[in-house]
Amino acid sequence: MTTSSPLPDLTSFPYLSLVLSLTLCITIAYYLRRHTSPPYPPGPKARSFLTGNWGQFPAGGKVYLKYIEWGRQYGSDLIHMEAFGQHYVVINSFKAANEILEKRALISSSRPFTLMDEFGGWGNVLGLLPYADRWRNFRKLFHQNFRPDGAIKSRPVQLEKIHRFLRDLLGPYDGFMDCVVTLSESIAFTTMYGYDITSHQDHLPRAARQALEVLEQLPGLDAYTYLPFLRYLPSWFPGGGFKTLAEGSRTCIEEIKEVPFKIAVDQWNSGKYSLIGELLHTNNGKINAFPDKIDIAKNMGVTTVLASSDTTSSHIGTFVLAMALHPDIQRKAQREIDQVIGTNRLPSFEDRPSLPYIEAIYREVMRWIPVLPLGLPHNTTEPDVYDGYYIPKGTSLFANIWAMTHDENVYEEPDKFIPERHLGPNGTGVIGGINSILTYGFGRRVCVGRHVADATVWMTIACLLTVYDISLIKDQDGKETELDVNECYHFGAVILPKSFPCKISPRSESAEKMIRDTSTIEYEGLRVGN
């Protein structure tokens, strides 16, 4: 006896007719939208109706340059691409970024939180959360502790770690960037948890870097969000390998979330100050926080550690490169320091307004090689029209910060390192405040920790110039070796300097003594109750 199949015959006329009808309706809706709404911004022609520009996205380390090229080719500040129904717009000019991301921040401040972000544990990181109640609660706590008056609490840690960094540079070390990375990570871990990092090879900072390395591999995997069935593939199945990446990321982030948090509680109880400890404890030393506040505090720690590790170290590495390549600029900066603060002490934060040329060097470092050349993507929560172009709801917006900081209409010879471009008339005062530094982002998604990062990078620059000379290596004949800027970086979503060959040596015997004497300084504010 035969039985009929429980599955319908998909080749029969009714089912074929249904499929064809649905396809026709989708096609008609697509073309109606294209012909009744303003056009999308220009961009490369899509290869396929279904996949759009999939496979046409620029690849390699300097994709931001390709978007600049396309902007010139299409005569537009905006470049549009599409894949699997998801829209992407790259913004190449400050004018357009200011209009779309600042003035229209109400509808352009979300993030394109993807399936990969969810799988990878990145919901614990403020900078990647969509614009919603959870983000607002998270941001509120961050803002209370990292706005200018709150950021001052980080200064004792910053000074202690920067002074230790100066001592580390006396040697021995394998590469100076190891010292720079240790500096950046130690400030984050000590500020947040009271946890002292003595080497970038310590387990917890290594876990943070591993998570960030995974994140760099995730762009381009958004197809998994738009093809939902792929989430059910086993990791060993072809196309399922993204799960292994995501699981590794999640493991690292969970460890950074939980382990140092417990350390912060113990450190506070032993008398060592930390921001997490202060948030959770009353004056009698007992935890006083609701579970939601504890989770937000844990995530604030994760965000700070992950956000500051690569960015701060990249800016300091860029400064070292700029000084090695431009001894004349270095000497001019050192003359200003010697005249203003003398040669018998290290700079303080109070010296900053009196050192305009040091400020200009800092601004030029941030402009010359922006660490996040395409920033972090925004996401639109409503459709928009800019300059006659339609931007659909749910579009991922990328601010091409490299294009803006290298705009020839704004910066003469933008590829050159010229601090004077940031000075006002007569070389006094600096043009623009911290919000004019484009590396920190735009609108409501501007970097919430920018005041701490700003102070760290500026103080490191000022201290290095006070006690060290930075120069190119000389060969046996006394000729300086040449450095190619392009060979001194790993170019990708994040631009990271390498430990390129250079000489970092004390300016004098008295400078070396001043460096060594920092080991005896007592820094107020590192203990509970100070």
- Closest listed residue to residue 376, CA positions, set 332, 434, 323, 311: 311
What does the H/E/C string look like for 119-135?
HCCHHHCHHHCCCCHHH
Annotated binding site: 447
- Closest listed residue to residue 396, CA positions, set 66, 53, 34, 38: 53
Query: Contact at 8 Å (CB) between 363 and 437?
Result: yes
Distance CA 494, CA 481 (A): 27
Query: Contact at 8 Å (CB) between 91 and 399?
Result: yes
Structure tokens at 319: 């400064």
Those residues with Cβ within 8 angstroms of residue 79's Cβ, 6 or more apart along the chain or in another chain: 41, 42, 43, 67, 70, 71, 89, 90, 92
Annotated binding site for heme: 447
Distance CA 215, CA 120 (A): 8
Burial of 220 (0-12, 13-18, 19+ CB in 10 A): exposed
Burial of 505 (0-12, 13-18, 19+ CB in 10 A): middle
Alpha helices in 395-475 (DSSP H): 401-405, 450-467
Distance CA 377, CA 45 (A): 22
Distance CA 293, CA 311 (A): 27
Query: Contact at 8 Å (CB) between 385 and 391?
Result: yes
Q: Quick one: CA torsion of 369, 439, 320, 211, rounded to 10 degrees?
A: -100
Across the beta sheet with 378-379, the strand order is 78-83, 86-91, 396-399, 378-379
- Closest listed residue to residue 423, CA positions, set 464, 485, 362: 362
Distance CA 360, CA 356 (A): 6
Phi and psi angles of residue 394, each rounded to the nearest 5 degrees, phi first:
85, 10
Measured at the alpha carbon of residue 110, what is the angle toward residues 137 and 380, in degrees to the nearest 5?
Answer: 150
- Closest listed residue to residue 92, CA positions, set 342, 410, 344: 410
Burial of 269 (0-12, 13-18, 19+ CB in 10 A): middle
